[in-house]
Structure 1
Amino acid sequence: MAGTETLDRSAWETALNQVTEEHQGELVTIEVLDPEVGHQYEADRLPFTTIVYDPKDDVVAVSVGGQSPRHPVVLRHLVSHPTEIDVATQDTPEPAVRTVDEDGTATLITFFSQESGAES
């Protein structure tokens, strides 16, 4: 991702909490880029809830939905034992977070404003 910053593990929890605060009310796409299976969408422009890093369980959890009658269920995507987290700077057209797990599978979380034309 252009304009990204690879974070030190000590900054993951704080940085992802900040991403959650900055992107409340936006839509999110979650793409899994598995070297063996290929590129798959897990969520496409659903209402963003949170992204957090839990150091105790060594897991990144991304939650979408659960905030409206249209999307009443919360979907959680987990990245166990991440080895890398990159956060796109605010200078990029579409802010994003990329995580890589110990098997080399990358998860790309891309944020879109509500005005981007997708339904919420």
Structure 2
Amino acid sequence: MPMSPKDSSQTMKSTTAAKRLGIYLPAAPEEFQVATPTRAELEELERNPPEWLVELRRNGPHPRPVVAGRLAISIGGLARGGVTEALTTEQIQALRDDPPAWLVTERAIHAKVRAEEERLAAERTAD
């Protein structure tokens, strides 16, 4: 369904905007944390990110979905590994460089789950 001009002026909570931008809200500037951006404003942030957004995406701290993705594990795997806080890019890289046993295990589990999902998807398309 195409968006009407009225739809682009709808506002969203800052938590929703942060999730869509893939950033950790408490690390964003105060004015963003209390803002209620419109869809158009969010699209503008995506097209022309300010320096704070570029820096936050580059160095973090990152929200759990981003951390999980960069470590190639699930969000549940993060929790099982005891990671409950946002991590910086440097912390994520340290885990990748010298993975603890829990991370190796979670990567194997995640790889098996993804392989099974792909197998099932291939079966569905073959039918």
TM tier, shorter chain? Answer: under 0.3
- Name the structure, 1 or 2, with higher relative contact order (CA <8 Å, separation 6+): 1
Greater strand fraction, Structure 1 or Structure 2:
1
Q: Whose Rg is larger? A: 2
- Scaled by the length of structure 2, the TM-score of the pair is 0.22
- Scaled by the length of structure 1, the TM-score of the pair is 0.23
Greater helix fraction, Structure 1 or Structure 2:
2
